Structure 1
Amino acid sequence: MLTAQRKQLILNRLATHGQIVAGELALELGTSEDTIRRDLRELAQQGKLQRVHGGALPASAATGNLRVRQQVSTDEKQALGRFGAQLIKPGQVVMLDGGTTAIQVARQLPPDLRATVITHSPNVAVELAAHRHVDIIVLGGRLFRHSMVNVGASVIEAASRFRADLFFLGVTGVHPEAGLSTGDAEEADVKRALHARAAETVVLASSEKLLSASAFVIAPMKALSLLVVPDGTKPKTVAALRAGGVAVQKAA
């Protein structure tokens, strides 16, 4: 089998089975495990999959910059944003991550809600400004333009001064084995710090993030209080996600 054919087979298997085990595929194709690992490495460099120990998982399609992500799964993100906004109760202290779904949460808060929202996203802070009864605390640091969030030690240090009731964590990958992940190391550091300061952490995940992985792990699935997925998510996918030890609910 030619290299190009083998790589296409790998991508097809990922699409249908959700993972590749290098040793098993090498045995099936009658080639060496080193050959399969080289294929996986080259495909990972092209952004077409995420390598893990012993094989590969689908790469998240949610790794584009904020402008690109605003065009992806827009209806799903609006529904997820509505669901998330309903989870916030009057008087709570809430941490809201950056990203397109977080912006939807901010937009859909009740106009009379009285709460405190802490965010490291300038875009989210601007959306929250329309809610006159919401106190907004912005954690400052170096602006990571790709995601339009502040990152760095100053953000992590500032977060340590707060204790939130709820944290809406933004991720690019949600996988029962690979956990919750994102595409940048500094972003992952900030997300872990915010998660550590919240009593409960919720992920609102659009479909392109489900059963995929990115390079930098934030936390295992079981660290979540709730994973919210689109209403049209297949039962098989929901069952696979629950196998990661998390409560899963659909956003109607």
Structure 2
Amino acid sequence: MKAEERREHIARLLREQPVRVEEMAEAFAVSPSTIRRDLQVLSDEGAVVRTYGGALSAAPGEQPLHERERLALAQKAAIAEAAEARVRPGAMLLLDAGTTVGALASRLASWTGITVVTNGLTALDALADSAGVELVALGGAVRHVSLGMIGPLAEGALRAITVDTVFLGADGVVAGRGVCEGTAEQASLKRLMVEQAREVCVLADASKLGRAESNWWTPLDRPWTLITDSGATEEQLAPFRARREVAVTVAVP
């Protein structure tokens, strides 16, 4: 297979799901260094975004939620299971919008005696028929690309609430810096979520670790827990493990 043809295949593959360098090297019967050169060419062309150990599709704009729901399903399921293990009976929880947190919401549908506050339409849908969960919608303006509610209405409602644990999603998470999002409104709401919670958990699959392409940030300058999947390399995890304020949980599918 010629290099140009291989790169076209790689770009198509990454539109479907994140893939690590070693997996692509095995799939295309070439060395990891060859794949890294291919990814660099694709990155220079704007076709992909490089991450630690792999790459993501760089399709214009943020991927719609219905597309992201098909990515990294096993990883998100494992992260959701690990996050559920942190939930205690009678807890009041705050769930962010997004597909990984949405996977946690689906697991919580069988619980009784907990309260879930959320700005995510995915979480609301997952929990709407659960008689045992008291469900509170923050309200606000809906971002159709992520099906999350943001803005002053959501923030005003959140200021009247404190919760035991917040489960955050993110476009990317960087040790010592925080989580990033595509808009100022998303980052602002996340900052308030962090302030109103006694415990902070960030749910992020391996492709999000060290990723900083989005421009708006929510600092994490207090103790918090990162829950990621077993695809994360030691190189990715090392900056988080080195921070005294971060506890790292690696979920195995």
State the TM-score bracket (shorter-chain normalisation): 0.7 to 0.9
The within-5 A match list for 1:237-248 is 237-245=236-244, 246-248=246-248
Equivalent-residue separation in structure 2 for 1:141 and 1:59 (angstroms): 33
User: How far apart are 1:240 and its partner, in Å?
Assistant: 2.2
Deviations 1:151-172 (A, max 9, x none): 1101101000001000001111
Contact 1:202/1:225 (<8 A) preserved? yes
Change over 3 Å in CA distance of 1:223–1:82 after alignment to 2: same
Equivalent-residue separation in structure 1 for 2:250 and 2:229 (angstroms): 6
Code of the aligned partner of 1:219: P
Equivalent-residue separation in structure 1 for 2:230 and 2:192 (angstroms): 30
Deviations 1:51-75 (A, max 9, x none): xxxxxxx997694221121121111
Code of the aligned partner of 1:121: G
Deviations 1:171-216 (A, max 9, x none): 1111124431111211111111111110011011111101111211
1:90 match: 89
SS at match of 2:146: coil
SS at match of 1:87: coil
Change over 3 Å in CA distance of 1:65–1:93 after alignment to 2: same
Contact 1:86/1:109 (<8 A) preserved? no
Change over 3 Å in CA distance of 1:242–1:135 after alignment to 2: same
1:117 has 2:116 as partner: yes
1:251 match: 251
Change over 3 Å in CA distance of 1:45–1:153 after alignment to 2: farther
Code of the aligned partner of 1:248: V
Deviations 1:73-118 (A, max 9, x none): 1110011111112211111110000110111101112624310000
SS at match of 2:85: helix
The within-5 A match list for 1:168-187 is 168-187=167-186
1:215 match: 215
RMSD, aligned CA: 2.6
SS at match of 1:211: coil
Change over 3 Å in CA distance of 1:106–1:44 after alignment to 2: farther
Percent of matched pairs sharing the same residue: 28
TM-score, normalised with respect to structure 1: 0.73
1:160 has 2:159 as partner: yes
1:139 match: 138
Extract unaligned runs of 5+ from structure 2. 1-19, 22-42
TM-score, normalised with respect to structure 2: 0.73
1:66 has 2:65 as partner: yes
SS at match of 2:108: coil
Code of the aligned partner of 1:149: G
SS at match of 1:239: helix
Code of the aligned partner of 1:126: D
Code of the aligned partner of 2:207: E
Code of the aligned partner of 2:131: R
Code of the aligned partner of 2:217: V
Code of the aligned partner of 1:155: A
Q: What is the total number of aligned residue pairs between the two structures?
A: 204
